[in-house]
Amino acid sequence: MTLPVKDDEDMAVQQQAGIRSFYKIASGSCAMVLEAIADSCEITSVTTNVNARDRHNNGGAGSQITVTGQIGMKVKFKASLGKPAP
């Protein structure tokens, strides 16, 4: 996710807000997996990366923070997923 940097706010606080948003997404990931394809789901790992980019130098729209990450899960798939279609 990419967020614009607010020049009048502390950069560290803005980075923490971006990471917090990613964690909120991660916390709901198992619910989506359970709804669609699994009988059980457990988050086993979460990694995040934060990159700041200053786009003022090249006539860009301003600075941005980009938060990326990966969510590792242990999933038990629904038995019906392994059955051939009728």
By percentage, how much of the chain surpasses pLDDT 70?
90
**Cα(49)–Cα(3) distance, integer angstroms:** 14
Model pLDDT for residues 31-71, shown as the tens digit of each residue: 999 999 999 999 999 999 999 887 665 556 678 999 999 99
pTM of the model: 0.76
Report the number of distinct structural domains present in the chain. 1
What pLDDT score was predicted for residue 57?
Answer: 59
Please enumerate in sequence order all residues whose Cβ is within 8 A of that of 59, keeping only pairs 6 or more positions apart, or say none: none
Where residue 85 falls among pLDDT bands split at 50, 70, 90?
low
24 lies in a domain?
yes
Domain assignment of residue 6, yes or no:
yes
Residue 7 belongs to a domain: yes
Residue 66 vs residues 26, 27, 29, 46, 62: alpha-carbon distances, Å: 16, 19, 20, 16, 13
Residue numbers of the domain that contains 15:
2-77
Q: Is residue 83 part of a domain?
A: no
Tell me what pLDDT residue 37 has. 94
What are the structure tokens assigned to 44, written together?
A: 């086993």
